[in-house]
């Protein structure tokens, strides 16, 4: 028996699409609605004849995961967010997988649709998630974006478009900023729990590190303006987080001089220069890329 478990918060627009994509293969569809929902999500779930429950507001999905799964009757669980949908090819594959029962859980890639485009840079693709599993094989901590605990043998489905969950992720800039504000509140608490102590230089270094990671290390530059915009937005999330950590300390006054800022900036410019050259290597055809690598090695 396959139970599809969907968590939702103000998802009246997306929920019908998610349910429609799994109705054919699901023995039951369990929809857990965040009590803070102010739209018609709850009514739509009931109208579509799902098993419907409500859960206290948490602001993030992770605290709802285990509770929601426990409401399902099936021995196999397909876990979805309301802004996701299953392709017909993936639905057929899922039916075959649970019939064979060779493993305890599967990771499935996600096709992230962001600002109207399928974004394929390494942060966003293949974006494997634990979504198909035998009940009890996968459990979550309450921390935001936590990696779940697994039991038994797992397997990854091939990272192909036809076998990916379609994730209608960010549709607008405002949506990204709203989520970023909510997520950083939870990330803040995690940082404090880890013993983080605020340092003023982090509001310069952490955003830049995130930009370099997203735009260069994870090949965001291959996504054109979408890649640049997302790299900057994720860097802004890091800035927001560390300013909130400063706020948490009581906005303690710290004397920061232009010379200190210049010194931090100088160190970051060295990193930026290295990554710019690395991108030039990766974008250059052979044998030019080989020549560029040789020049770097020789310090030219």
Strands 76-81 and 84-86: unpaired
Assigned architecture for domain 2-168: Alpha-Beta Complex (3.90)
Residue 244: strand pairing partners: none
Q: Which two tokens stand for residue 143?
A: 């921390």
Q: pLDDT tens-digit profile of 53-111?
A: 999 988 888 888 999 999 999 999 999 999 999 999 999 999 999 998 789 999 999 99
Q: Which residues of the chain have pLDDT under 50?
A: none
Q: Which of 47, 34, 36 is nearest to 7 (CA)?
A: 34
- How high is the pLDDT of residue 124? 98
3-class DSSP assignment, residue 254: coil
- How high is the pLDDT of residue 216? 98
Q: Which two tokens stand for residue 195?
A: 């013993």
> Is-above-0.85 flag for pTM?
yes
Distance (Å, whole) CA 37 – CA 40: 8
Q: Which of 178, 277, 176, 167 is nearest to 230 (CA)?
A: 176
CB 100 within 8 A of CB 132: no
So where are the chain's domains? 2-168, 176-298
- How high is the pLDDT of residue 34? 87
- How high is the pLDDT of residue 300? 72
């Amino acid at each position: 028996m396959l139970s599809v478990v969907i968590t939702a918060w103000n998802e009246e627009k997306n929920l019908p699409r998610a349910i429609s994509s799994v109705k054919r293969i699901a023995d039951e569809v369990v929809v857990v609605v965040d009590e803070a929902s102010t739209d018609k999500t709850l009514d739509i779930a009931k109208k579509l004849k799902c098993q419907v429950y409500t859960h206290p507001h948490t602001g993030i999905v992770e605290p709802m995961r285990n509770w929601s799964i426990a409401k399902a009757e099936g021995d196999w669980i397909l876990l979805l967010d309301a802004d996701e949908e299953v392709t017909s090819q993936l639905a057929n594959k899922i039916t075959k997988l649970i019939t064979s029962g060779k493993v305890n859980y599967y990771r499935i890639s996600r096709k992230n649709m962001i600002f109207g485009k399928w974004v394929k840079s390494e942060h966003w693709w293949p974006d494997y998630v634990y979504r198909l599993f035998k009940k009890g094989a996968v459990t979550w901590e309450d921390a935001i974006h936590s990696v779940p605990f697994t039991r038994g043998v797992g397997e990854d489905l091939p990272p192909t478009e036809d076998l990916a969950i379609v994730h209608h992720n960010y549709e607008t800039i405002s949506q990204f900023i709203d989520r970023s504000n909510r997520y950083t509140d939870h990330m803040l608490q995690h940082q404090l729990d880890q013993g983080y102590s605020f340092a003023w230089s982090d509001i310069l270094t952490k955003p830049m590190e995130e930009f370099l990671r997203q735009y260069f290390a994870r090949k965001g530059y291959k996504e054109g303006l979408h890649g640049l915009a997302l790299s900057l937005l994720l860097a802004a999330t890091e800035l927001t987080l560390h300013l909130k950590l400063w706020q948490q300390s009581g906005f303690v006054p710290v004397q920061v001089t232009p010379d200190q800022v210049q010194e931090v900036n100088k160190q970051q410019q060295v990193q930026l220069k290295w990554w710019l050259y690395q991108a030039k290597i990766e974008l250059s055809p052979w044998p030019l890329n080989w020549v560029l690598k040789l020049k770097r090695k020789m310090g030219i």
